[in-house]
Structure 1
């Protein structure tokens, strides 16, 4: 029996320890999906050794392969590893709930006080610091997942370049990367049939075309739209932003451009998954019921897309062919994450001060391994509050 198998059979932590960890990550985890998946690896694989490297890689591959927000799905999968559906359910709720409560509170303040003028100043500093945080997370993921493997480096670089060029994550390329690694390394005969089921997931976006505009109540419209967002958008939470803009601003005209930009800023300056911006949007459209419906509709599909395939990942994940397939997808996922750092940086690094904040953040995290990211975020927010009014008076 391998060490990985032993760890899977005898967890070294309780379910409530995992729930408390996810609650803390959802409350203090800044930096968006790239940083969050890095935190999970650092804390649960390296430091606490609750999760094996193999289980983490399988979870990251499944989260990247299936539609929905990356960090939330990985958190759900890691809860599933030892405690199955109860673990997945409680871990998912604990991860999402803190940031949901925060964005609802900000939504209330936004409506009551007619906008959040200080948010631009805070985001000026925090957005730049986030670039440093996610760059260091991407670096660590690259070192651990790609190493010196030439094939994985080729996949990694291709996906990084495509992500930068298209500013989106192309789902079928992740599947193709897995299939390529499988074909070149250890192709078992049965994988040819099973890979078709995985590849079929990439066709899911086309299945969403039937969810058009319907003459139904506002909450039902919100539920249908955000369910489609959760079920048919691949990639990280950031990948959902263009889809949301098209529906919320252009199609339904629930928000104007400024309100939508504020909603994205709220997601970036609050901890937890970026996709929780749906709660803020839902609140602006229809109050607390709108926020609740939007969040549930977005996260339930990603929850199902994680727990339904999970048993097959657990059952077949240690086979050589599946390991090669997962390695290929993981390299593609990390490459896309690295590319997304550049995409996000183009929006957050807008002048010399923001560039200096990002570089200082990366340097501090490089030098002080135990430095807590919330401390950096708090300092960056204060810097933004001071500098932004002076530079943009």
Structure 2
């Protein structure tokens, strides 16, 4: 359990970032980690996105994270600063300092250590094409000095330091809406238990409130808001929440979902769907902002109209601030641009499996039981294998979620 592992004892609060700059740095790193996890889901990666960060160490001078070997290159690609199309991606000001058995990431705001990344592993990442121009530079690019979008850094820093809470979920995603952080995940611990832990336990995020949400298909959510310290009340440790969390935290397989996979890849449309501004616009279904971002990255209105099936005058109306509220039109826009439907809250459906004949009726009970126990053993050790049991959509036997 997070609060009872390592150097932390029951009742001992988790240490937070010491400075506002460190909190800004950790918030920017978390935003990059969201992009990594979302990208893994879009690509159908076998590694569960919640396994990207396998360990969080808070007992060192700076925050230290252990990143899964499979995800390391993806994390670095999203974290390291790089200028693309006149815009800065990654964490502004971040510079890399390789060590013998770790990789230090430092910026004018703060620092973070990636454990287990040797110099040889860093050289392999660079040889694979990692953009390191800015990350190894001694000077700041002018774009790195620009003001970053305002983020609820206290909440986001707190979430980064508590990522192990979601290790039992199939995936985790987060968006910023005004001054709130909305977290969504599938499977794993219940939203009620996570909300109680985040807002009312010794491992909670100080001066915060958490509102739980539940959706269909085992999708859960929590909305985090900052609260005045004077308005907070002291309550007993929510042991029921820890019990529920523990019961729902056995690592399970990755989940392949149609909702987060683009219906088609558009080679002539920039892959902007993981950027903070774009994700916020998609979550709010602010199509005007979506079109303006595409326009800024060189996609002309005529091309937008051709992809979405709209008339150019309708695209011009949206660019001028017009709203799009029709579900069918929103779906056509998402499919035409290659936006994962789940990013706009339009679908949370599973990938439809091809029809195969069901042979369960011919299996004896011992064979069925052996299959189930073998799968349970794989899940217990964190395997991402999902092809157990019957794959026929018409089968009525128990199947994994």
Fold shared, TM-score > 0.5 on shorter chain? no
Q: What TM-score, normalized to structure 2?
A: 0.21
More helix by share: 1
Q: What TM-score, normalized to structure 1?
A: 0.22
